[in-house]
């Protein structure tokens, strides 16, 4: 045994620890992981230690906890995450559709209402094309309750088919209580047009600074039934979604009709343990429970679904449950019992001592292993292991590595998409996004516009004030662009003193309004020493172009650039469309 400790003692003596050979040996025993394992092997013996460690760690952990948490929790989290994302994406898609100028221009340009109604119908058809199995109906309703445009399945409503009494509906009243950019998602209702159960989604439309209408679509409830069945393997278990009134919204073992009332969960004959689970789900609790039904034992994990959209109001309170037979949880139970019988013959003292020491040694290793798996999954956790041995050093190194990786990832992400001087998106990101938006606009025949702006007489400003002051001016202009665009728009630095803005779902007239707003705000923005400019202010010239049928990204940029050149030729500090 003394030979085993010679090397660590010599290392400590070289570092200046002159406490004597006996004291050095005790310190080495405390701080050396190798010494701890040697002590375990010396006391317990190789065979008992190996048998106990393998039994405790692999058999118990893999046979029980792995099945419970991987089969139940992982599946439940994945399924509920998909359902939660539906509500979030539905709200986001409705807001994007509401940005179409056809809806507010219907009120702001009454002379061309037929044109704007046609544009509205194209948007409604687009929603049905993208979500044919999800959206049953979509419509645009003014503040009096009069439908302006509507599509049911794939059929557009004629003028004489449009209802004038939509203000009686709950979703209409509650949507008008919201502010711009908020979405109302109501409880299931029977659609008056399709006679099927649907979830209403609505958002207010603003015109002249007032709420003038709502944009509304209905999501069929059978979508959630199909979604749940596609996510759960019936050979492994079953799942269901329960609302806060105790009704099944979806159930993989039930055939829920499109028009029938939703079945209630708590009925005569339901086992008490399962009824208790239902009541906890109605109360939006979460947990894992065991119950028996039909002579079989099951495990169920349940948790509330986060249906709250971050901008607006969602009246639905749902809870998800995933159920598997107990026999699938305890697949390795026979192995566990067999090993327990074998280990029962081991001396009680040796088992207790080996377990205590082994657990002390391996606990930080397990924490590091779990943290490493989380890093592989994209997370950046820290481990808190307060030890002075090699494991403690490894934990410190792991935390240092995680922090370094986080800083590197953040820096790489910022460098990949952001212009270092202005904070706007950079040229590479702009080209990538413009290419994507051009392809989408051509595919779905949607409007897309581009703004290119150039600071007037910027070389003169640099020559008079110096490049550091010029950089400051670029930052000021960039901040104006960042404040002046919509959430769905993309503002970027094109290069030098040029800036660009991508305007999705925006025709030429809307883009010209946006460009003029930017030009005016730049002119009004105070910039040091701008009085030395030829026109007495720091201004921009702006070119605007809209994507034409058959054009690609290059032609759109060339058209906007040509318009910018025209603005420069006509005297600068103006907007010209291509």
Is the pLDDT at 2 greater than 50? The verdict is no
- If pLDDT is split at 50, 70 and 90, which confidence band does 350 have? low
DSSP alpha helix (H) spans, 418-507:
427-444, 458-465, 467-484
Which DSSP string corresponds to 119-130? HHHHHHHHHHHH
- Reported pTM: 0.49
Name the superfamily (CATH) of residues 83-346.
PAS domain (3.30.450.20)
Check if the beta carbon of residue 425 is closer than 8 Å to that of residue 493.
yes
- For 53-80, b/e burial (b = at least 16 CB within 10 A) is bebbeebbeebbeebbeebbeebbeebb
pLDDT at 322: 93
Question: Under a CB-based contact definition with an 8 Å cutoff, are residues 192 and 111 in contact?
Answer: no
Q: Kindly report, residue by residue over 352-387, the tens digit of the pLDDT.
A: 665 566 566 666 766 766 777 776 666 767 767 666
Q: Is 269 exposed, middle or buried (0-12, 13-18, 19+ CB in 10 A)?
A: exposed
Instruction: Give the integer Cα–Cα distance in Å for 193 and 200.
Output: 13
Least confident of 85-94, 178-187, 213-222, 505-514: 85-94
Cα distances (Å, whole numbers) of residue 465 to 458, 468, 469: 10, 8, 6
Cα separation, 433 vs 439, in Å, equals: 10
Q: Which of 113, 80, 149 is nearest to 303 (CA)?
A: 80
Instruction: Tell me the per-residue pLDDT of 409-452, one tens digit each, with 9 for 90 and over.
Output: 555 565 678 998 999 999 999 999 999 999 999 999 999 999 99
Q: Which CATH number fits domain 427-577: 3.40.50.10140, 3.40.50.1110, 3.30.70.270, 1.10.260.30?
A: 3.30.70.270
Q: Is 35 in contact with 28 (CB distance < 8 Å)? A: yes
pLDDT for 1 equals: 43
Map out the domains of the chain as residue ranges.
2-62+347-407, 83-346, 427-577
Question: Which is nearest to 477 in space by CA: 457, 455, 502, 500?
Answer: 455
If one counts every other C-beta atom within 10 angstroms of the C-beta of residue 417, the result is 16
List of residues 6+ apart from 277 with CB closer than 8 A? 289, 291, 300, 302, 321
The helix (H) or strand (E) run that includes residue 38 is: helix 33-44
């Amino acid at each position: 045994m003394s030979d085993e400790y010679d090397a660590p003692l010599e290392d400590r003596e070289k570092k200046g620890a002159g406490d004597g050979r006996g004291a050095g040996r005790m310190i080495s025993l405390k701080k050396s992981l190798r010494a701890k394992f040697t002590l375990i092997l010396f006391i317990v013996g190789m065979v008992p230690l190996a048998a106990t460690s393998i039994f405790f760690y692999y058999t118990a952990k893999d046979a029980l906890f792995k099945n419970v948490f991987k089969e139940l929790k992982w599946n439940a989290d994945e399924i509920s995450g998909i359902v939660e994302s539906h509500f979030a994406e539905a709200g986001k898609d409705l807001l994007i559709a509401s940005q179409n100028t056809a809806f507010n221009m219907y009120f702001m340009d009454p002379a061309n209402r037929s044109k704007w109604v046609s544009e509205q119908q194209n948007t409604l058809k687009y929603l049905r094309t993208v979500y044919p199995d999800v959206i049953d109906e979509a419509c645009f309703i003014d503040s009096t309750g009069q439908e302006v445009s509507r599509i049911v399945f794939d059929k557009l409503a004629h003028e004489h088919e449009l209802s004038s009494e939509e203000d009686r509906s709950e979703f209409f009243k509650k949507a008008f209580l919201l502010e711009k950019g908020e979405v109302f998602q109501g409880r299931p209702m029977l659609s008056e047009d399709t006679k099927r159960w649907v979830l209403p989604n609505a958002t207010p439309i603003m015109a002249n600074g007032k709420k003038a209408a709502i944009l509304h679509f209905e999501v069929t409830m059978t979508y959630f039934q199909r979604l749940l069945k596609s996510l759960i393997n019936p050979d492994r278990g079953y799942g269901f979604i329960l609302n806060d009134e105790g009704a099944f919204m979806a159930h993989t073992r039930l055939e829920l009709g499109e028009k029938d009332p939703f079945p209630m969960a708590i009925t005569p004959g339901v086992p008490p343990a399962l009824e208790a689970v239902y009541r906890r789900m109605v109360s939006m609790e979460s947990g894992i429970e065991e119950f028996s039904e039909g002579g079989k034992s099951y495990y169920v994990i349940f948790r509330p679904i986060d249906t709250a959209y971050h901008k607006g109001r969602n009246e639905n309170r749902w809870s998800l449950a995933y159920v598997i037979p107990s026999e699938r949880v305890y697949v390795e139970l026979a192995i566990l019992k067999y090993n327990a019988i074998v280990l029962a013959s081991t001396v009680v003292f040796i088992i207790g001592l080996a377990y205590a020491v082994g657990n002390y040694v391996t606990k930080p290793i397990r924490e590091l292993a779990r943290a490493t798996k989380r890093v592989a999954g994209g997370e950046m956790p820290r481990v808190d292991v307060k030890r002075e041995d090699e494991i403690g050093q490894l934990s410190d190194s792991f935390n240092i590595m995680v922090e370094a990786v986080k800083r590197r990832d953040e820096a790489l992400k910022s460098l990949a998409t952001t212009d270092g001087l202005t904070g706007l998106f950079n040229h590479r990101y702009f080209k990538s996004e413009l290419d994507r938006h051009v392809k989408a606009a051509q595919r779905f025949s949607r409007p897309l516009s581009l703004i290119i702006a150039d600071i007037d007489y910027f070389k003169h400003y640099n020559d008079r004030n110096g490049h550091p002051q010029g950089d400051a001016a670029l930052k000021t202009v960039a901040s104006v662009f960042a404040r002046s665009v919509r959430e769905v728009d993309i503002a970027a630095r094109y290069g030098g003193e040029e800036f660009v803005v991508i305007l999705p779902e925006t025709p030429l007239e809307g883009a010209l309004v946006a460009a003029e707003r930017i030009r005016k705000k730049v002119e009004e923005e105070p910039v040091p020493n701008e009085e030395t400019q030829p026109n007495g202010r720091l201004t921009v010239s702006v070119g605007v172009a809209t994507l034409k049928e058959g054009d690609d990204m290059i032609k759109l940029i060339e058209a906007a650039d040509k318009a910018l050149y025209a603005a420069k030729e006509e005297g600068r500090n103006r907007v010209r469309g291509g």
